[in-house]
Amino acid sequence: MLTKRIIPCLDVDNGRVVKGKKFKGIKDVADPVELGKFYSDQCADELVFYDITASHEERDIFIHIVEKVAKNINIPFTIGGGIRTVEDFRKVLLAGADKVSVNSAAVSNPELIRAAALKFGSQCVVLSIDAKRNTHGSWDVYINGGRKNTGIDAIEWAKRGQLLGAGEICINSIDSDGVKAGFDIELNTILSRDLTIPIIASGGAGKMEHFSQVLKCGADAALAASVFHYKEIAISDLKDYLHEENIPVRRCNR
């Protein structure tokens, strides 16, 4: 059985790791390279770095930070934010990233997913989806850091992303983001049922039980930020707990 993954998420703005709630109230947290190394040493399975304002500001991604991170950690990491072309994929991968996450640009140009998957392999392509529940009982896709509602159905967009060649879906619930009341179990259950590629659940982690719930509902990985950044949950303790819950995880060497 494949092990479930625990993935700290580092949102980066102006060279610093930041965190907010529902994409608002952004506060400074730490240096991304130092925090990345800390998580690498603490038994995280992967890391995700998002340049959270690159798409909105229409600027290039932070290549210099990617290069520094690659030199200081020994686990896979994903870079997202401001990725608009296959050339952007190439730059980020050459700088040391293992995977590249696309969100806003993929909505505007879905063929970017196919082109990147053909060029670099599906394993390098992560389709990140910011989803918010609407009044009709489904979820809409938001872009530009959660600022713009596209009106696209999140489930259907995830299915299309898989068909285009995405190797993973990272589904972030805007409603749950930073609130610490738990992941969106319904959303992750549907995606895990309807797709064959791995699902990374994001948004809502507040306690260890939340990780157990979303991983048991079918998600292949759980991504979180503030509970790790503020040392409310230690990754090694979380993995011990998940092991006791009969969830397969990579245990830490102590």
Q: Which residues are catalytic?
A: 11, 130
Residue 63 DSSP one-character state: H
Cα-based distances in Å from 208 to 6, 159, 212, 253: 11, 29, 7, 20
Pairing verdict, β 139-143 and 125-133: antiparallel
Helices marked H in the chain = 32-41, 54-57, 63-72, 86-94, 104-108, 111-120, 154-164, 185-194, 208-216, 226-229, 235-244
- The single-letter code of the amino acid at 100 is V
Q: What does the alpha-carbon distance between residue 153 and residue 12 come to, in Å, rounded to a whole number?
A: 27
Q: What does the alpha-carbon distance between residue 102 and residue 164 come to, in Å, rounded to a whole number?
A: 13
Largest CA distance in the chain: 49
